[in-house]
Amino acid sequence: MVGTKGKRSSRHGAVMSGAEMTIQAIVDEGVDTIFGYSGGAILPTYDAIFRYNSANPGKPVRLVVPANEQGAGFMAAGYARSTGKVGVSIVTSGPGATNSATPVRDCMADSVPIVLICGQVARSSIGTDAFQEAPVFSLMSPCAKHVFLVKDPTQLAATVRTAFQIARSGRPGPVVIDLPKDVQNWQGAYDSESVLQLHGYQDRVNAMMHQKMPKATAQAFLNLLKRAKRPLLYVGGGVIISNAEKELRRFMEQFRIPAVTTLMGIGAIDTQSDLCLHMLGMHGSAYGNYAVDECDMLIAVGARFDDRVAGLPDEFAANAVVAHIDIDAAEIGKVKPVDWHYVGDAAVALRSLTEAGKGWSVEHKQWLKHIRAMKKRHKFNFNRDSEIIQPQAVLEALNNITKGEAIIVTGVGQHQMFSAQYFDFKRPRTWITSGSMGTMGFGLPAALGAQAANPGKLVIDVDGDGSMRMNIGELETCTNYNLPVKILLMNNQGDGMVVQWQTLYFGGRYSGTDKTLHAKDFVKTAEADGFRFARRVTDYDALQPALEEFVSFDGPAFLEVRVDKFAFVYPMIGPGAPYHDMLTGPYIEGRSDEPAEDTLDATDGF
């Protein structure tokens, strides 16, 4: 906890440099892998990594050096997202720090715990526009959960320890340490116990950890649930972050309540469960979005009503009373007014409600029957008669091979949405994507971080040609460290999601998205970077065998599949449109296609 002493290290009191203290404190926090790129202002710390590993050959800290500092940040994020542990990136000052701003903001937006350590010019040179100086504290403060500028070297170890505790506690997030070079070179006794006293934050976190849901609060929730005929869970990434998936699944089964998930909540529920309605929102399942429109009680757990889900808040779940569980009080009522709420850990809340509702008898069987019918009628579908490979067909075939067991990482764009729609996930932390920031270039480095953290698991990066170009230098990182990531590039020669919007809303004016002149040969690029498996598929006959060989290949593998440029993502709720105006496209059955008697009347009390 912030403000309490840590466990005493065997090296407590040893004389070290500030750089050595930094690495020792990181090791004491249980870190086994560091992602980063060296440079002048961080050289003492990189030297300390080398010397630590020389002195500890049996248990060295793994150092993964990317092609770019942005890659290091996303690798740390992939490590953190796939494990729940704090990811670590160490970079130099100036451009090293500025290149890391995007991963920091990406982690803040998705509540991902990382610690970024940036080298900085000596304290006496700060503010003089010294070589490779950047205003890290000012730059990162709006992007991170917290930023430290280490001015007092005697507090260095405590600062590192506190950074980890802030990153992982409460609502997780990125913490940045701006570390001047002269502080790294300072010599002193290592303090392995102290942490900084941040009393306001400490009090809030301590209170959160020890609180229990009052019986009256639980009873008020049950009173609302008893009156509901069409309850629906709206599950966000907070359930995964709080490791509350077991409590969620027990709650769902006990009360027999179906659930939709956000993009970040995918994996909290087994997607093959009869109660799972998959993703909701702009590109959510048709049946999931219809259920949101029809429900009379919406139970949000670890979700924040973002604009891709609740685009028109007044019309989102307009017929429902709203209950909201979140660890961050700022999210309660921020977008949509609620009728009941609880600020606290999702696992604690769900456990309390499940216990309070023992002996519950299900009273919404007609709703569940209707849900099952909608899942069957409005299922995902695509053009299965096209001779051009459809991206959905690629992912459907790959899913039949992986069967929900792989860690799926994506870039950002159409391939991201198709992956969310067509892959199965049996457990949390097997779906890794950039949600709120929607950062292109995220997929490949994040997959490398996830693979480094999960050496025995199958990790697949599903990427688009636009996203791949953003951080394509990390292909070499993959082979340098023999990380057996499987990279599936779905190449539609364009920024697919932007092309979709330009087609639907901008009269087909493809400004800046026509990539037909691009001469990049991705397969040759992969081969040049050391991939022993690097292939291209252009027709359906070759697709299935190529996918099977790709997945089973022993080592890093790269497979490019040329797909239809105009295979659009449906369903789609257009900008400024309510759920009932959702576009289902030509291949998914919509409400206008079904008999009137099969449509549930939102006022029907059964």
Distance CA 262, CA 400 (A): 23
List the catalytic residues.
Answer: 69, 131-132, 181, 497
Spatial strand order of the sheet with 459-464 comes to: 431-432, 407-410, 459-464, 486-491, 557-562, 533-537
Residue 12 has phi, psi (to 5 degrees) of -60, 130
Distance CA 303, CA 82 (A): 19
**Which CA distances in Å does 88 have to 33, 108, 301?**
7, 14, 28
Indicate the residue type of 294: E
> Which residues are 587's β-sheet partners?
none
**Which of 355, 479, 449, 541 minimizes the C-alpha distance to 74?**
449
Distance CA 545, CA 250 (A): 40
CA-CA-CA-CA torsion sign (492, 494, 498, 500): negative
Tokens of 432: 């890794």
Placement of tokens 């209170």 in the chain:
207
3-state secondary structure 462-483: EEEHHHHHHCCCHHHHHHHCCC
Work out the number of other CB atoms within 10 angstroms of the CB of residue 34.
Answer: 26
Are 488 and 394 a contacting pair, CB within 8 Å?
Answer: yes
Tokens of 471: 């951080």
**Which of 587, 583, 600 minimizes the C-alpha distance to 284?**
583
In terms of DSSP bridges, do strands 175-180 and 114-120 run parallel, antiparallel, or are they unpaired?
parallel
> Which residues are 489's β-sheet partners?
463, 560
Distance CA 70, CA 167 (A): 19
What are the DSSP calls for 244-300, one per residue?
-HHHHHHHHHHHT--EEE-TTTTTSS-TTSTTEEEE-STT--HHHHHHHHH-SEEEE
Are 163 and 193 a contacting pair, CB within 8 Å?
Answer: no
Residue 557 has phi, psi (to 5 degrees) of -140, 145
Distance CA 243, CA 234 (A): 16
Q: In a 10 Å sphere around its CB, with 0-12 CB exposed, 13-18 middle and 19+ buried, how is residue 262 labelled?
A: buried
Distance CA 225, CA 258 (A): 13
In terms of DSSP bridges, do strands 15-17 and 187-189 run parallel, antiparallel, or are they unpaired?
antiparallel
Residue 537 has phi, psi (to 5 degrees) of -120, 130
